[in-house]
Amino acid sequence: MSSYRGGRRAIMLAAAAASKKCFRAYNNLLLGNHNTKNNPLFFLCFFNHSHSIHTPDHNNRPGCFPGWSSGTAIFANSPSSSKRSFTTPSWNHRRYLNLNAFLSNPASSSSTPPFRPPNSVLNGHALFSTMSAPKDKDGVANKAPPSSATTATNKSDQQVADTKILRTLASYLWMEDNPEFRLRVVLALGFLVGAKVLNVQVPFLFKLAVDWLTTATGNAAALASFTTANSTLLALFATPASVLIGYGIARTGASAFNELRTAVFSKVALRTIRSVSRKVFSHLHELDLRYHLSRETGGLSRTIDRGSRAINFILSSMVFNVVPTILEISMVAGILAYKFGAPFAWITSLSVAAYVTFTLSVTQWRTKFRKAMNKADNDASTKAIDSLINYETVKYFNNKAYEADRYDEFLKIASCAHICFLSLSLSISKQCSLSGYEDTALKTSRSLAFLNFGQNVIFSTALSTAMVLCSHGIMNGQMTVGDLVMVNGLLFQLSLPLNFLGSVYRETIQSLVDMKSLFQLLEEKADIRDKDDAKPLILKGGDIQFDNVHFSYLAERKILDGVAFSIPAGKSVAIVGTSGSGKSTILRLLYRFFNTNSGNIRIDGQDIRDVTLDSLRRSIGVVPQDIVLFNDTIFHNIHYGRLSATKEEVYDAARQAAIHDTIMNFPEKYSTIVGERGLKLSGGEKQRVALARAFLKVTPILLCDEATSALDSTTEAEILNALKSLSSNRTSVFIAHRLTTAMQCDEIIVLENGKVVEQGPHEVLLTKAGRYAQLWTQQNSTVDALDSAIELEP
């Protein structure tokens, strides 16, 4: 025995020298791994495999060796299944890399299904998830501790919520309209049961081989007694060697069933994730503009990403971990009770119950700060995205160092939250100084030592008790050495899933919270949606009426105050006024991005709230003030205006927008990628692409918000002529700061403080000498002053 201990120690020291000691220490520290050098489980592993020498598998938790995942005194799963269910081949390496790049985005964990490492380490994600940060109004720190009654109520509500989440997921998993996937679920469960049945046969076969070899070297009476007691099994095996061959076949069969289970169920899991992700994506597009103006893109993308991977983990843990473990515990307890009596079954049941209770309690104790960590993580991600989107602004003001420092502050908060979570700290507000890090590392080490020690005490006590009972049975002649080996093997088959219970439980809890955040997105209700009796818009010409419309984005600030005007069908109207007078808001209300607070908006006599959104928006073409293009080709961005359009129609629209010749001068022509938000194009080019898109969408109503604001005078004249042609016989509304655009229209509406103060043609309004005349004079005076300044330059 000592030689094997020495061999084990030598092997482990060599492995430690080959790897990075500090890396392995941090790896074990984060996961709560048992200390392999002091783990008593290894002694029995070597006892039962005394003819083999193995090296530690650093991808498994300590206590696991390659090839020891299914067999006597080892574990329930096959080697490959063990790695797939609880680790990934490059987990340690990725953890080390991502610790140094806290918010990096490595390759998706879907490449190593079905288990994913903790989000906080693998992808720099916080360990707990909530809804996106803007909606989280609860202060995590500085919150008064709840009463016991409140805590009990919260736990009950949480259990109900978790059950609802699982039911929702099950509805996606058990597809009523897809018999193939339902069959796959049934087959996966069948393979799961088959693998466990074969697993529990392995200790039986090993017991048979041990007893046979023991009695074969003894007297004839012992051999005869053995033959009589095992007559049924001996009918299948001729020699001890054939029993050991059967032992190998059983292990191989269990591994094969595990592989088949994975192959069959993977398609179901991936399709479920795809279905949920598609539904969430579609639902986000159904939400109204108010929601999208208030959301944070970085936090929202993180919620979706975490939720999708949480579904993958829940499906995998249920099918590959939780259900198999429950099944195996039941089978082992039943077998021990049947073969050796109730005391062995009670030992197994009580030890598992104590092990589970202790592990879950300690793990729950160590997982209090998910919400704070998640918020810090979302804030850091949102800050990074916001800064990169505003890349040019950062460069204009030479604030690269300032942005880097701000981002670093967010990372510091997120890192503090992560360290405080690991250290069981009661606040994330303290600074992560060197002494603070040492203190938290010490607390982490102590808490992990407590967890590991407690687990070892429980399991070792149960194992020792069972071995003592077996030894008494052997001494009394009621049991054999093979029985001791079998009991040992059955109990050890529970060690792997129980060793991983803490991490699986933590991941399950966080996955449920992540899934809750994802499914809560589906529960977001759009303020702007069709009525139950909504009918399609029936256009007769495009007459537009605003009747005493009041609107405000915030209750304390009115934007439109009793606006009333009428635009006859086929006419063009310009809306002018100072900034903040409500011009763009009129277009948003007409497109029904928002509902009016009071008053009505009608198109051809039909209240736009009574018609379907699809028919309304299909009838209106828009050129927005802020042009945002897809990071795709120029052709795609123009073609997006009408997806059924032909290439020639796209080219004609570009010609009408006076950009076709410019595009043809690009090296890639219409295949030119415009970049994120169209940043590779100039402001004028972006605006002309947007105009071409509006030209392509042939609609009875056209809305243009500053359609020529980014154009030079020559191009503006060309576009105005094109717009005049486009708006012919169409109801057109133009928001204009440049009054040269307004003077081309049939009517001009002047807004001031959310009210219509003047309305009429350009010449009539000038003769009135009212507000429009003042704006015209001011604009011309500004232009004259600029011209004079240019002439005075040397």
Question: pLDDT-based confidence at 651, cuts 50/70/90?
Answer: very high
Percent of the chain's residues with pLDDT above 90: 10
Please report whether residue 143 resides in a domain. Answer: yes
Question: pLDDT-based confidence at 709, cuts 50/70/90?
Answer: low
Average pLDDT value over all residues in the chain: 70
Does one domain contain both 610 and 644?
Answer: no
Nearest residue to 135 (alpha-carbon basis) of 309, 296, 305 = 296
Does one domain contain both 744 and 706?
Answer: yes
Does one domain contain both 88 and 147?
Answer: yes
Does one domain contain both 322 and 289?
Answer: yes
Does one domain contain both 739 and 678?
Answer: no
Please report whether residue 496 resides in a domain. Answer: yes
Nearest residue to 529 (alpha-carbon basis) of 285, 221, 279 = 285
Does one domain contain both 242 and 287?
Answer: yes
Task: Find the range with the poorest average confidence among 25-29, 420-424, 514-518, 631-635.
Answer: 25-29
Which residues on neighbouring strands pair with residue 549, listed in sequence order? Answer: 563
Task: Report which of residues 663 and 215 the model is more confident about.
Answer: 663
* The predicted structure's pLDDT at residue 608: 92
Is it the case that residue 121 has pLDDT exceeding 50? no
Give residue 269's identity as a one-letter amino acid code. A
Please report whether residue 69 resides in a domain. Answer: no
Does one domain contain both 681 and 551?
Answer: no
In contact, 549 and 564? CB cutoff 8 Å:
yes
728-741 average pLDDT score: 83
Q: Given 467, 497, 523, which residue is the final one in a domain?
A: 523
Question: pLDDT-based confidence at 220, cuts 50/70/90?
Answer: low
The angle formed by the CA atoms of residues 513, 518 and 524, to the nearest 5 degrees, is 120
Please report whether residue 12 resides in a domain. Answer: no
Cβ neighbours for 466, distance < 8 A, ≥ 6 positions apart: 344, 347, 348, 487, 488, 491
464-475 average pLDDT score: 87
Please report whether residue 212 resides in a domain. Answer: yes
Task: Find the range with the poorest average confidence among 67-76, 441-450, 601-610.
Answer: 67-76
The range of the structural domain enclosing residue 754 comes to 537-619+701-714+724-794
The top-scoring range by mean pLDDT among 26-40, 196-210, 401-415, 528-542 is 528-542
Residue 240 is encoded by which pair of tokens?
A: 């001890």
Domain count, the chain: 3
pLDDT digits (tens, 9 = 90+) for 271-317: 888 888 788 887 887 787 777 777 666 667 777 777 878 887 877 77
pLDDT digits (tens, 9 = 90+) for 19-70: 333 333 333 433 344 443 334 333 333 333 333 333 333 333 333 333 333 3
Is it the case that residue 426 has pLDDT exceeding 60? no
pLDDT digits (tens, 9 = 90+) for 749-778: 999 888 999 999 999 999 888 898 988 888
Q: Given 479, 501, 523, which residue is the final one in a domain?
A: 523
171-186 average pLDDT score: 76
Verify cis geometry, omega within 30 degrees of 0, for the bond prior to 667.
no
Other C-beta atoms closer than 10 Å to the C-beta of 230 total: 18
Q: Given 493, 523, 553, which residue is the final one in a domain?
A: 523
Is it the case that residue 325 has pLDDT exceeding 60? yes
* The predicted structure's pLDDT at residue 376: 60
Q: Does pTM surpass 0.75?
A: no
524-548 average pLDDT score: 87
Which residues on neighbouring strands pair with residue 602, listed in sequence order? Answer: 545, 607
* The predicted structure's pLDDT at residue 600: 92
The CATH number of whichever domain residue 743 belongs to comes to 3.40.50.300
Please report whether residue 660 resides in a domain. Answer: yes
Does one domain contain both 253 and 356?
Answer: yes
Does one domain contain both 363 and 266?
Answer: yes
The CATH number of whichever domain residue 154 belongs to comes to 1.20.1560.10
pLDDT digits (tens, 9 = 90+) for 7-27: 434 433 333 343 333 333 333
DSSP string, 408-454: HHHHHHHHHHHHHHHHT-S-S-S---HHHHHHHHHHHHHHHHHHHHH
In contact, 288 and 528? CB cutoff 8 Å:
yes
Please report whether residue 402 resides in a domain. Answer: no
* The predicted structure's pLDDT at residue 373: 52
Distance from CA of residue 326 to its chain's centroid?
28
The top-scoring range by mean pLDDT among 149-153, 225-229, 323-327 is 323-327
What letter would DSSP give residue 599? E
Does one domain contain both 208 and 83?
Answer: yes
Does one domain contain both 159 and 239?
Answer: yes
3-class DSSP string for 297-314: HHHHHHHHHHHHHHHHHH
Does one domain contain both 588 and 642?
Answer: no
Other C-beta atoms closer than 10 Å to the C-beta of 654 total: 26
pLDDT digits (tens, 9 = 90+) for 235-279: 566 677 888 888 888 888 888 988 898 888 888 888 888 888 788
Cβ neighbours for 231, distance < 8 A, ≥ 6 positions apart: none
Is it the case that residue 497 has pLDDT exceeding 50? yes
Please report whether residue 254 resides in a domain. Answer: yes
**Residue 331: helix, strand or coil by DSSP?**
helix
Residue 614 is encoded by which pair of tokens?
A: 């699809």
